[in-house]
Amino acid sequence: MNTPSAPEAVVAAGARVATVTRNTAETKITVRVDLDGSGRSKLATGIGFFDHMLDQIARHGLIDLEIDCQGDLHIDGHHTVEDVGITLGQAVARAVGDKKGIRRYGHAYVPLDEALSRVVIDFSGRPGLVMHVPFTSGMIGTFDSQLTYEFFQGFANHAFVTLHIDNLKGVNAHHQCETVFKAFARALRAALELDPRSAGVIPSTKGSL
Ligand SMILES: [Mn+2]
């Protein structure tokens, strides 16, 4: 594990937009997010199935998402997937700012044929991941299904969210994984949505999140 360079971040005033660049000896990543986007994406991680999953986050989260990753895929996909999760988490944390007016909690159930997953998210300020996804296959294309956990751990740690992920049913591993990412996207969208009844208010009795 190399010590990453300090991530460069750019946040546009007023807009929930952020760009983060994170470079290590293992991966060189730039992530740009617009939390109030329309679901457009431009993704290049070098792992086809992973790009397909990140596309679900954009489309179903209504987040405009650009991710470019030059990773050490000659080893395997581990650093690429984990570090994209970290950098996406950093970008979302910066774009959401002080969390004023957001709904804070979000949850979603998403089916795909025989598969069904549930994701619950809390922009709590406390990183946490509880994940139960019994994948029926190790590899999905060139994507190692075990890396799903690494992605969400990286995201939770750096977006400072509590994340509960459960695959409730599923036979096909592509379906299992896709329902997890789609449910994550829908839960994210719900939590980040601005609540007009709570405009300008931080949704915590502590007064900060
Ligand atoms: Mn698919």
For each of the domains in the chain, give its residue range(s) and CATH number, in order of start: 8-198 (3.30.230.40)
Q: Around Cβ 133, how many Cβ atoms within 10 Å? A: 20
Distance 56 CA to ligand 1 centre (A): 9
What's the pTM? Answer: 0.95
Digitized pLDDT (tens) for each residue of the chain, 209 residues in all: 456 666 777 766 679 999 999 999 999 999 999 999 999 999 999 999 999 999 999 999 999 999 999 999 999 999 999 999 999 999 999 999 999 999 999 999 999 999 999 999 999 999 999 999 999 999 999 999 999 999 999 999 999 999 999 999 999 999 999 999 999 999 999 999 999 999 889 999 999 99
Do 173 and 135 meet the contact criterion of CB atoms below 8 Å apart?
yes
Distance 14 CA to ligand 1 centre (A): 35
Q: Which residues contact 125 (CB under 8 A, 6 or more apart)?
A: 160, 208, 209
Do 162 and 128 meet the contact criterion of CB atoms below 8 Å apart?
yes
Distance 175 CA to ligand 1 centre (A): 7
Distance 157 CA to ligand 1 centre (A): 27
Q: Which tokens sit at 32?
A: 């740009």
Distance 150 CA to ligand 1 centre (A): 20
